[in-house]
Chain A
Amino acid sequence: MATRTVEVATGVPGLSAERAVTWPKRTKARLSNGLEVILAEAHSIPKLHGELFFRSGNAAVADRAPGLAEMTATVVRTGTAKRASRQIEEDLRRIGADLASHAGPDTSAISFAGLSEFAEPLLGMVNELAREAAFPEAEFERERRQKLEEVKLERTQPGFLAGERLRKVLFGAHPYALVSPSEEQVAAYKREDLQKVYRDSYTPENGLLLVVGDFDSNEMMRGVEKVFGAWAGKKPESKTAAPPANPRGRRVYLVHVPGAVQTQILVGCHAITRKHPDWVKLGLTNSLYGGAFNSRLVMNIREDKGYTYSPRSGVHALRQHGYFSVSAAVRNDVVAASLTEIFYEMDKLRSVPVPVAELADAQNYLSGVFALGLATQDGLLSQFSTVALNELPDDYLETYRAKVRTLTPNDLLETARKYLDSANMQIVVVGDRAQIESQAALFCELEIYDAQGKQLS
């Protein structure tokens, strides 16, 4: 509860007239092999940024092993039918390019950036990795060993442990519950499993290529057709897992890390996908609650009380489901006090309409920062990919700001009542049991786990 009177500034210059925000034109095509292509020109620097997405990620193959799409992506860049690992890396450097292959819950992707003058060899490399990855045995073994160390390290990071536990709690038997494999599961990965994921997922019908940068779109489209046109492959069959049950009632999950000098709090609940009609409303509600520096939660537990450095809330949209979460790494002796404030601010948004001036501030914030991404190639790429991957309407970027501005205090009250349900929030705390158990137990029943995921009580 804010105890300090907020003073206002005097003599602040007003805002001058806004300049129109114009998103660059997108040139779209679907090649005859099914590959969707979106290009946009941005001439800020003589470079381009791109990403080749496949609409299948870890969730699509979770029945085989957790993290299998990610492991596949990792090994993709280590060798092709034509080039060994060392050659790939040197050839990328030769054209001034950066490249990464990775996968998330819903997509696998090859992202790349390089000098415009070398666009053709760069697209050639992306094409080669997408079609002719060789999965060399020795590289697979080496990457698997690296992965083993990586998954061990993750289990020593409070942020990872909190996120993993919350996803398990929220998504239960759904693939979204699995954020990372265990050491045993990594040890059981087989090269053939990766190759099958690659064969099934890395196909033009399953693909989306986005390129933003310093080029002429017509010329680039011809280049893309030339490089990717002869590729063929079907979309994999998609399986939709049964929807996860929405956990009812509060519960605390304590992950015990002996000797932790701070507690990572993560509180969350089910929310919505990007396509949901409430998306903009929930985005604005979140921004007011804890999604911005100037938000209520940050002002309360950081600027007023000094409990934490970086409190934040966010709405995380996955393709099939979404969730809302609030995180804060706090001093061990204020775990209960922080949770109290986290819920207080939710309940306040559910009970009292947001003052009009505060709403206007939040609307300005959300619509202003939305346009900051316009200024850079990677900012544009990220906005365009969000629209395309979530199958949002073509004018989503152009109309978003107006949608934000039409919302009223009542819309926010309704949204908070619908989604920020403090009575049904799931609470994860990662820290030293001896220091925090009694504080956590004040909120509801407690389950205690160790960092390996074994239940202690």
Chain B
Amino acid sequence: MKTLQVGIESTTLSNGLKVVIAPDTTAPVVTVGVYYKIGFRLEPQGRSGFAHLFEHMMFQGSANAPKMQHIKLINSSGGTLNGSTSYDVTNYYEAVPSNALERVLWLEADRMRALKVDDENLKNQRDVVKEEVRVNVMNQPYGGFPWLDMPPVAFRNWANAHNFYGDFADLDAADLKDVQAFFKTYYVPNNAVLLVLGDVKVEEGIALAKKYFGDIPAGAVPPFADPSEPEQSEERRGNVEEKFGTLPAMAIGYVLPARRTADWCAMALLDQALHGGRAGRMHRELVQEKQIAVEAEGGIDDLFGYNGPSQVTTRIFHKSEFSSEATLAAFDAVVREVQEQGINADELEQLKVKWCSDYYATLEGGRGGSMPKYGLMHLLACFTLFDNEPQLVNTILDGFLAVTREQIQAAAKKYLRREKRAIVFRTPVKASEKEAA
């Protein structure tokens, strides 16, 4: 198969900021990202949702670019921008015509150097975030299923188990002191990576990184709480009421092996065997053959982008005439089959071809054209922050392509065990109760 080699160069500035440049002159467009190694997993206790609220605050003004100026300057340069918070990283990114590169770097450096926000900004964004939670979770059928439902059932360490979007009381309790303390602790150059991808030359990118970021003082090495989980020894179950939808749903999650181990590679391919779209075993058995479910999918969320306890999760929406237990029994039968029979050579070969194809798609993934190279940026950032090895982007495929049938069967037996799983049932409120309410 034709392989893809991404040309990349990386360096570390004297303040500890890591810099990765990936030149490609296909289009006169450049993508810039700054990733900080802090996500919602390790946000302060008593401040659930804070990492995400803080991400919003990063658009509210910095020393030389007051409120609204970040957005205005990027848009008026012909570009788009956004940010997102996940388990272990928070990112800020822009795609612009390449003639605006210096401007983008100046803006990112300005907010890495000094955040300048006030109480009014905080109140404003707290309100915005609450509407975000309502539109995505509280006012949507199956909102937060299972990404917010699963953690409190599956995990025991607060870091992994809390409400990542934030309890409203915690959002209300957050004040400006929290904002500045979080900034000072985690938003230091030595806890970040700057990425420049697309229409840029290597020397130019590194020189500009030095010019704009070089004099930002390094901070103390941030303290990170221990996110590890106590060994799980029995199945865990939880229930969440579904207010709007009418189909019963469930999510089954199993704890994953440590990242970048041989077991992890085997689990990733096993995940594809189970959840790889309409060819996946879950869909085939539960939706096509037994017709118990109208949807049975899932998998490992953001395989390369997490750095702590995580799960491979199956989401099932099943027909009301089948009980939860009958549905779970059908799910278990699919798991048992792969544990007992493994997968055959032909299936493994299909999985590997599809894996390569999907990996290339991830590298090129540009969010429907609006954010070119988003996927490559994300991988480079995670490989840099978690592994200090951006070149992994060119070699990580090898580990997956080396996986054997035996390893997949062994992974199924070792990790897909009842005592290692958690199940969340999302149960619709009965129609009659709904009428009464």
Residues of A within 8 A of B (CB): 4, 6-21, 42-47, 85-86, 89-90, 92-98, 113-117, 142, 145-146, 149-150, 152-153, 156-158, 257-262, 292-294, 299, 302-310, 329-331, 360-362, 364-365, 367-369, 371-379, 382-383
Residue in B closest to A332 when the chains form the complex, CB atoms: B134
Residue in B closest to A360 when the chains form the complex, CB atoms: B76
Contact call B131/A308, Cβ cutoff below 8 A: yes
Given contacts A7-B66, A299-B68, contact A379 B73 (CB under 8 A): no
Contact call A379/B138, Cβ cutoff below 8 A: no
Contact call A9/B73, Cβ cutoff below 8 A: yes
User: Which of A149, A307, A361, A373 meets B369, CB within 8 Å?
Assistant: A373
User: Which of B66, B125, B129 meets A8, CB within 8 Å?
Assistant: B66
Give the residues in chain A near B1, CB-CB below 8 Å.
115, 117
Inter-chain CA distance A113–B358, complex, in Å, is 10
Give the residues in chain A near B366, CB-CB below 8 Å.
372, 375-376, 378-379
Distance in Å: Cβ of A352 to nearest Cβ of chain B: 19
Contact call A293/B71, Cβ cutoff below 8 A: yes
Contact call A379/B368, Cβ cutoff below 8 A: yes
Give the residues in chain A near B69, CB-CB below 8 Å.
7-9
Given contacts A47-B357, A89-B279, A153-B245, contact A262 B134 (CB under 8 A): yes
Residue in A closest to B25 when the chains form the complex, CB atoms: A19
Give the residues in chain A near B244, CB-CB below 8 Å.
156, 257
Inter-chain CA distance A292–B356, complex, in Å, is 35
Inter-chain CA distance A293–B351, complex, in Å, is 40
B26: Cβ under 8 A from any A Cβ: yes
Give the residues in chain A near B102, CB-CB below 8 Å.
13, 16
Distance in Å: Cβ of B24 to nearest Cβ of chain A: 7
Number of interface residues of B (CB under 8 A): 93
Contact call A156/B79, Cβ cutoff below 8 A: no
B98: Cβ under 8 A from any A Cβ: yes
Give the residues in chain B near A294, CB-CB below 8 Å.
68, 71-72, 74-76
CB-contacts of B339-355 with A (<8 A): 349-351, 353-354
Contact call A92/B279, Cβ cutoff below 8 A: yes
Distance in Å: Cβ of B203 to nearest Cβ of chain A: 16
Give the residues in chain B near A260, CB-CB below 8 Å.
139
Q: How many A-B residue pairs have CB under 8 A?
A: 262
Contact call A6/B364, Cβ cutoff below 8 A: no
B225: Cβ under 8 A from any A Cβ: no
Distance in Å: Cβ of B308 to nearest Cβ of chain A: 27
Distance in Å: Cβ of B65 to nearest Cβ of chain A: 4
Give the residues in chain A near B124, CB-CB below 8 Å.
303-306
B257: Cβ under 8 A from any A Cβ: no
B202: Cβ under 8 A from any A Cβ: no
User: Which of B29, B138, B360 meets A375, CB within 8 Å?
Assistant: B29
B14: Cβ under 8 A from any A Cβ: no
Inter-chain CA distance A369–B94, complex, in Å, is 11
User: Which of B131, B199, B369 meets A331, CB within 8 Å?
Assistant: B131
Task: List 29 A–B pairs whose Cβ atoms lie within 8 Å, in order of A's numbering.
Answer: A6-B68, A8-B69, A9-B64, A12-B64, A12-B103, A13-B103, A14-B103, A19-B97, A43-B26, A47-B357, A90-B279, A93-B277, A98-B277, A113-B361, A115-B2, A117-B2, A146-B294, A259-B243, A261-B138, A261-B139, A309-B131, A309-B135, A329-B135, A329-B139, A331-B134, A365-B76, A375-B27, A375-B29, A379-B366
Give the residues in chain A near B330, CB-CB below 8 Å.
none
Name the residue among A11, A92, A375, A379 with the largest chain B CB count within 10 angstroms: A375
Name the residue among A11, A158, A308, A369 with the largest chain B CB count within 10 angstroms: A369
Inter-chain CA distance A330–B132, complex, in Å, is 9
Inter-chain CA distance A362–B72, complex, in Å, is 10
Give the residues in chain B near A158, CB-CB below 8 Å.
139-140
Given contacts A7-B69, A294-B71, A309-B135, contact A153 B247 (CB under 8 A): yes
CB-contacts of B62-98 with A (<8 A): 64-69, 71-81, 95-98
Contact call B139/A372, Cβ cutoff below 8 A: no
Contact call B356/A96, Cβ cutoff below 8 A: yes
B28: Cβ under 8 A from any A Cβ: yes
Give the residues in chain A near B360, CB-CB below 8 Å.
45-47, 115
> With contacts A12-B64, A331-B127, A372-B80 known, what are 19 further pairs, Cβ within 8 A?
A8-B66, A9-B64, A21-B27, A45-B364, A90-B350, A94-B353, A115-B2, A156-B245, A157-B141, A260-B139, A262-B131, A307-B131, A331-B130, A368-B100, A369-B80, A372-B371, A374-B27, A375-B373, A378-B369
B437: Cβ under 8 A from any A Cβ: yes
Distance in Å: Cβ of B209 to nearest Cβ of chain A: 14
Name the residue among A21, A89, A382 with the largest chain B CB count within 10 angstroms: A89
Distance in Å: Cβ of A457 to nearest Cβ of chain B: 19
Contact call B78/A368, Cβ cutoff below 8 A: yes
Contact call B103/A15, Cβ cutoff below 8 A: yes
Give the residues in chain B near A329, CB-CB below 8 Å.
131, 134-135, 139
B288: Cβ under 8 A from any A Cβ: yes
Inter-chain CA distance A368–B100, complex, in Å, is 10
User: Which of A15, A44, A157 meets B77, CB within 8 Å?
Assistant: A15
Inter-chain CA distance A9–B73, complex, in Å, is 9
Contact call A115/B246, Cβ cutoff below 8 A: no
Given contacts A115-B357, A259-B243, A329-B131, contact A368 B79 (CB under 8 A): yes
Contact call B357/A372, Cβ cutoff below 8 A: no
Give the residues in chain B near A369, CB-CB below 8 Å.
78-80, 370
Residue in B closest to A330 when the chains form the complex, CB atoms: B131
Distance in Å: Cβ of A204 to nearest Cβ of chain B: 27
B128: Cβ under 8 A from any A Cβ: yes
Distance in Å: Cβ of A376 to nearest Cβ of chain B: 4
Give the residues in chain B near A21, CB-CB below 8 Å.
27-28
Give the residues in chain A near B68, CB-CB below 8 Å.
6, 294, 299, 303
**What 3 pairs across the A-B complex have the smallest Cβ distances?**
A368-B78, A379-B369, A96-B357
